[in-house]
Structure 1
Amino acid sequence: MKKMNYNMYFKSKSRLFLLCGFILLWCTRCKREDMLLYTDGTAAAPAKVSGIKVANQPGGAFITYQLPDDPNLLYVKAVYKLGSGEEMTIKSSYFSDTLKVEGYGDTSAHEVKLYSVGKNNKESESQAVSIKPLTPPVMKTFESVSLAETFGGAVVKFSNLAKANLSFIVMSDSTGRGDWYTVNTFYTKADSGRLTVRGFKPEERRFAVYVRDRWENKSDTLAKALVPLEEFLLDKGKFKEVRLPTDNWQGHSWSGVSTRTMPFLWNNVWNNGSDVFHTVPNSGLPSWFTFDLGNKYVLSRFKFYHRAGNNNDLYNNADVKLFEIWGSNNPNSDGTWASWDSVGTFTSIKPSGLPLGQVSNEDIQFARVDGEDFDMPAGINAYRYLRFRIREVWGLAQMFYISELTFWGAPEKDN
């Protein structure tokens, strides 16, 4: 009995010593952290950086330097003003020897002031550094901009090799006397593209475009008098589903909704997550479907509306990315391709350029509400039947979904 009491006594003592050890270790760690965070309010400001070098970049510069051997140093900062008058402050911790300054809209010389900042928030005297930015993306991109007439309006083509976040503001003169208004503002970081404004009569009208970046730097303005090409909105009431062998026309159903078949593509409803043509999961890719326009048309362009609903479905999963359009006036009933002409290959563009699974408000507006515009190749023949061949979707799904398709063009002229 006494032996058992001794064991219990020593076990209790061991636990007590172990607990004290943990407390002592915790206190020691706290004390070390306190020492690291401790600042001397009476200490002088840290020494200046030295060995400053400038590497000019488009719209800014990289500034490198040697850090002072000063235990009080917390970070180095750069202070400068943009052309708009806005003051910018950029900071870099004592783990780095480089600062990146950006936001300039020209190639003039600019002054940047460097400061060393201590843990007590005291700043060293400023050091003036002169930089001379290279041509900024907003100006470089504008050099590539072209403006031309297209069906129902104007088209802007551009090259943005820096993939900078830019806005393209397209305007029109409403009276012909310089009463300009903004028709649309496009946001993109794509390396190239075509931007179109539509809805104009085939009458001469002045259009203009300029480029703006996120620091409100603006390019010059390109203006032209253009005559939009005449076109007509095709009557969707004449569209009909065609079921050919090898086609994927079987629709999918979920959560009690009716089967989402092809006619949902032309019911004039979009920006609705359930109102889509949705093929059966795991039905495979590439995949194609066929429909009848009701008459023969020379097509000028079309709008492609992406599926709404969950943001994870946009530019992801089964959302169509790469597809072909084929045309015919007398398709073979066996579903083979010999009676079909290739009209064109089209790639969906994500304006923001964000990674898979991420979308911006501009992406949502562009894809679901406004619809993604595609121009047909010039000089194509008139066709009554169209065949869409889906080659690739944005995600990994083996199916596809499309909310709506809208077409413009002109009826075939009688010879």
Structure 2
Amino acid sequence: MKKILFLIAIVGALAVMTGCEEDVRGPLFSDEGIPGPISSPEVENLPGAAIITYTPPTDKDLLYVKAEYTLDNGKQVVTKSSNFLGFIRVEGFGSAQEQTITLSAVDRSENVSSPVQVKINPLTPDVHSVQQSVEMIPDFGGVQFRWENPNNAALAYIILAEDSTSELVPVETVYSGVSDGNYTIRGFEPEEREFAMILRDRWDNFSDTTKITVTPLFEQKLDKTKFNKVVLDGDNDMAAWEGRYEYAFDDLPNTFNHTWAGDGWPQLFTVDLGVVAKLSRVNVLQRQTFFYAHGNPRLLEVWGIKETPNPDGSFDNWVKLKDCVARRPTLEGGTAAEDQEHFENGDEYSFTLDDPEVRYIRFVVNETWGLTGFTHFAEITFYGQVVEEL
């Protein structure tokens, strides 16, 4: 019986709804007065954009001021600014050419004032100025791209490489807003090849193409099964529980080594690579259960030596290969998504072609993300060329 009554109620409601006239929504307020126009516009030109300040009309029912303009790619844009602000930002221009912006005041009845046209002259857009800073350097297994992005513009860096048909094709896109960009594309044979980079902003403005023809250097991942534990005087002892020494090079990202707490700074950790190698880079993976925190290394040094080191722990004959600062993209103008991706991929530190061949590596950790009195590495991975098998 209850089901029948429920169905009757539904049918009745539908009958009432279909019998009603269409509800057309309009302005909450209605008047025939047209607001006055904005006055005294002043322009501050910015890269690919401008800020226009103005004096709004005195109409009490003023709701907002709108700017109407056309981007270089033909897209029509309407931007609105609250009646309380007194300025409006227009952006997305792909060139440093003069642009015309139409400003109108709108009241609560959606009456629109007479338009005021303002000329702006945007500065060179970031998508072009950043492209002009791009450098490309042959590297182990590929090419290293460097660029400067002082305004932290959110850009897409499209990397292209020559394929088997001699055509440049996109192989990877890097999204970044960091001020000093550095990215290396790898996985290529040591054969002459053309590489390129094109930049794109969020308004689909594209830069010119930067190209280079280079021969990538041969590179291989060093075999971690050949790594050996070395403890010199002054090195920090590792906890015997889950933080065992060799967990830093077992190729398992969820294990980690761990020095004992309370030993102070610096924290020292030495490893025998088991081969003599010309190193190209090292990847240091943070302990994955602590997000930029706890004992994950932040400030560290990487030292190398070819001959057997003095067991007294002195740095005689050792060569400092790198002063390292672990990155967190959001501290450089990046995004939370970049933070997460970087955390999962690890901190990568590149060495130079002038660095010597080495067999032993010594990490000197001077600070951790959590300012702890201990440190832990989830994984260390070395790349380069093996010069001598032992």
TM-score, normalised with respect to structure 2: 0.85
How far apart are residue 403 of structure 1 and its match? 2.0
Matched, 1:378 2:353: yes
Aligned to 2:251: 268
Residue identity in the other structure for 2:234: T
What secondary structure, in the 3-state scheme, does the structure 1 residue paired with 2:246 have? helix
Change (3 A) 1:282 1:344: same
Among residues 318, 334, 339, which one is paired with 2:295 in the alignment? Answer: 318
Matched, 1:367 2:367: no
Matched, 1:330 2:308: yes
Change (3 A) 1:289 1:76: same
How far apart are residue 200 of structure 1 and its match? 0.9
Write out per-residue CA displacement over residues 207-243 of structure 1, whole angstroms, 9 at most, x where no aligned residue. Answer: 1111122222211111222100112221100111212
Change (3 A) 1:331 1:228: same
Unaligned runs of 5+ in 1: 1-37, 253-257
Residue identity in the other structure for 1:240: N
Matched, 1:181 2:159: no
Among residues 76, 100, 104, which one is paired with 1:111 in the alignment? Answer: 100
How far apart are residue 317 of structure 1 and its match? 4.1
What secondary structure, in the 3-state scheme, does the structure 1 residue paired with 2:329 have? coil
Change (3 A) 1:54 1:386: same
Identical amino acids, percent of aligned pairs:
34
**Which range moves more in the overlay, 82-91 or 158-167?**
82-91
Aligned to 2:200: 212
**Which range moves more in the overlay, 335-344 or 224-233?**
335-344
Among residues 94, 97, 105, which one is paired with 2:83 in the alignment? Answer: 94
What secondary structure, in the 3-state scheme, does the structure 2 residue paired with 1:161 have? coil
Matched, 1:167 2:147: no
How many angstroms apart in 1 are the aligned matches of 2:84 and 2:269? Answer: 58
How many angstroms apart in 1 are the aligned matches of 2:295 and 2:108? Answer: 52
Contact conserved, 1:47 with 1:124, CA < 8 A, in 2? yes
Contact conserved, 2:179 with 2:332, CA < 8 A, in 1? no
Pairing 1:2-401 to 2, within 5 Å after superposition: 40-178=29-167, 180-251=168-239, 258-270=241-253, 272=254, 275-309=255-289, 313-328=290-305, 329-353=307-331, 360-369=336-345, 371-401=346-376
Change (3 A) 1:80 1:281: farther
How far apart are residue 186 of structure 1 and its match? 1.6
TM-score, normalised with respect to structure 1: 0.80
Contact conserved, 2:237 with 2:260, CA < 8 A, in 1? no
How many angstroms apart in 2 are the aligned matches of 1:394 and 1:166? Answer: 28
Unaligned runs of 5+ in 2: 1-26
Residue identity in the other structure for 1:348: A
Matched, 1:409 2:387: no
Residue identity in the other structure for 2:386: P
Change (3 A) 1:235 1:131: same
Change (3 A) 1:81 1:376: same
**Count of aligned positions:** 362
How far apart are residue 289 of structure 1 and its match? 0.7
How far apart are residue 156 of structure 1 and its match? 0.7
Residue identity in the other structure for 1:362: E
Residue identity in the other structure for 1:411: V
Change (3 A) 1:115 1:400: farther
How many angstroms apart in 2 are the aligned matches of 1:89 and 1:50? Answer: 19
**Which range moves more in the overlay, 190-199 or 83-92?**
83-92
How far apart are residue 388 of structure 1 and its match? 0.7
Root mean square deviation of aligned Cα: 2.4
